[in-house]
Amino acid sequence: MSDIKLFRVGSGKVDELVGTTDTVEKSVQTLFERNLEPLLGVRFLASEFVTTNGGRVDTLGLDENGCPVILEYKRASNENVINQGLFYLDWLMDHRKDFQWLVMEKLGKDQAQTVDWSAPRLICIAGDFNRYDDHAVKQIQRNIELIRYRRFGADLLMLDLLVATSVKATATSVSSSQASEPGLAGPGRYKTISSVMEELDAAMIDRYEALRAFMLALGDDVQETKLQLYIAFKRIKNFACVEFRPTASKILMFVKVDPSTVTLEPGFTRDVSNLGHFGTGDLEITLTKPEDLERAMPLIKLSYENS
């Protein structure tokens, strides 16, 4: 598949840095497991997790949206790591309690109770993939990402998101019959994002579609995932999370921009680094009218570039 070249510029000339991949798969796995959060936005749970069907998952984690993540590392060019990962993903969906017990042991009871099963993910990592891998992923209706890595010297690591597919939420633990208005305590008291979106009027739908179109146009690597309580836009990691307040005609967006670097405007931007909210990001942007999108564009783009 396509290659990325990296050059060092100095003294009026350029020198190409030759990328390498490790031939020993375990060293790659160890590197990722020790640095899952900064690399992929995933909290580490277990390595070489033995399943009840005799399998062994390379790495288990929980992403920044609270969704289960399986990571598989491609050991050889002819290994079908995608099918292997799907096998474990199916096992995981049939053994949710086993996963939640693991989350409780590692991250605590509160995290275990709020695991979001609407968008479980499979991340396959390799030195390279082929066109057949690319084609296969695009035919499979699951949340799958192919990430290629390259090392440049001893201190540079490149990650390249080659392919990412996402599907609509397949399972929810928060139903509208259980839910009430956002802001009440307890995960069972919130309306799902799908229920909230049914309440949007035509003007809010138009504003959201304009926002959505802008974010999807930022790059081919942008993924849109509708979770239980919000919509996440991400590359490898989230760069924007969107909620709605139909009664106030507001679209709320949380982006990964340091609020201390922004001139905050009451009613438009707010520092929520010390406030509880759904999704990720410390800067809240409120869109109440069509022209707010143009004001928000530089902040959204900055978050996208930082993710």
Q: What pLDDT was estimated at residue 284?
A: 97
Q: Is the pLDDT of residue 210 over 50?
A: yes
Alpha-carbon dihedral sign for residues 20, 24, 25, 30: negative
Q: Is the pLDDT of residue 53 over 50?
A: yes
Q: Is the pLDDT of residue 250 over 80?
A: yes
Q: What pLDDT was estimated at residue 184?
A: 30
Q: What pLDDT was estimated at residue 174?
A: 40
- What mean pLDDT, rounded, does the chain reach? 87
Q: Which residue carries 């590197």 as its tokens? A: 31
Report the range of poorest mean pLDDT among 9-23, 63-77, 83-97: 9-23
- CA–centroid distance for 251 within its chain: 20
Report the range of poorest mean pLDDT among 74-88, 104-118, 227-241: 74-88
Q: Is the pLDDT of residue 150 over 70?
A: yes
CA distance 227 to 187: 13
Among candidate residues 163, 162, 160, the one with its CA nearest the CA of residue 143? 163
Q: Is the pLDDT of residue 11 over 50?
A: yes
Helices (H), the chain: 25-34, 36-40, 81-94, 96-107, 109-113, 131-139, 193-197, 202-216, 292-306
Q: Is the pLDDT of residue 92 over 90?
A: yes
Q: Which amino acid is at 159?
A: L
Q: What is the mean pLDDT of residues 206-221?
A: 96
